[in-house]
Amino acid sequence: MANNELTNLEKSLNLHFRNRELFENVFIHRSYLNEHKRYHLPSNEKLEFLGDSVLSLITSIYLYKNYPQLKEGDYTDIKAAIVCTESLTLASKKLDLGNYLYLSKGEYKSGGRNNINILADCFEALIAGIFIEFGFDRAYQFVIDHLFKDKLDLIISKKLYLAPKTRLQEISQARFKVVPVYQLIKTTGPEHDKTFTIQVSIKNKKLAVASGKSKKDAEEKAAKIVLNKNKI
């Protein structure tokens, strides 16, 4: 990759890495080294490992400072929601990090630049790179600007960190003073590999049907369908 491409990314992030190898290392996927075994840098896996820990600490501090009214259990659920692969991938895509990845030809052809796990890992590796080069405060601000901004407040205000069944129950109780009713419609498959189909209703109104490998899984899926389609 041309060095000026990484420079363009630095400009968009308002950062300048003196340690150029560290910055480059953020984007080296392990597949690239399979075809370039003598490359002078390792994969970004160690940076991703460090970035995961830094991100966890940043999230904990941010929640503790900005949402003191919430309980410890809420912090845990919110943290899981905001640092999930989906959120990290979305943040990575907004920064076009996939364009800077060093990939093998095979990984590139199979869509590696849009692979959700690769993009999420790269975002965490970038957090680590910023932490090493600029310190915790810059890493903290980077996460706020590119991961938390707008999204975290929405997750908390809408209680999107709660499991679908819990969210649906809270909405149902607030609006109708009743809880949703989950009914087993059918069970299919052999004893060791059953599939359960569940129907969810509120005030005798059938709202959604879903299947899963356990009753709980099917119930959560049914509740999620109701929430996603705004059926109540």
As annotated, the active-site residues are 52, 124
Say how far apart CA 152 and CA 176 lie, in whole Å: 28
Specify which residues 181 forms β-bridges with: 201
Say how far apart CA 143 and CA 187 lie, in whole Å: 45
In DSSP notation, 35-81 reads H-TT-SS--SHHHHHHHHHHHHHHHHHHHHHH-TTS-HHHHHHHHHH
The annotation status of 5 as a binding-site residue, yes or no, is: no
Residue 197, SS3 per DSSP: strand
Q: How many residues does the chain have?
A: 232
The annotation status of 45 as a binding-site residue, yes or no, is: no
Say how far apart CA 220 and CA 211 lie, in whole Å: 10
The annotation status of 48 as a binding-site residue, yes or no, is: yes
Annotated binding residues for Mg(2+):
48, 121, 124
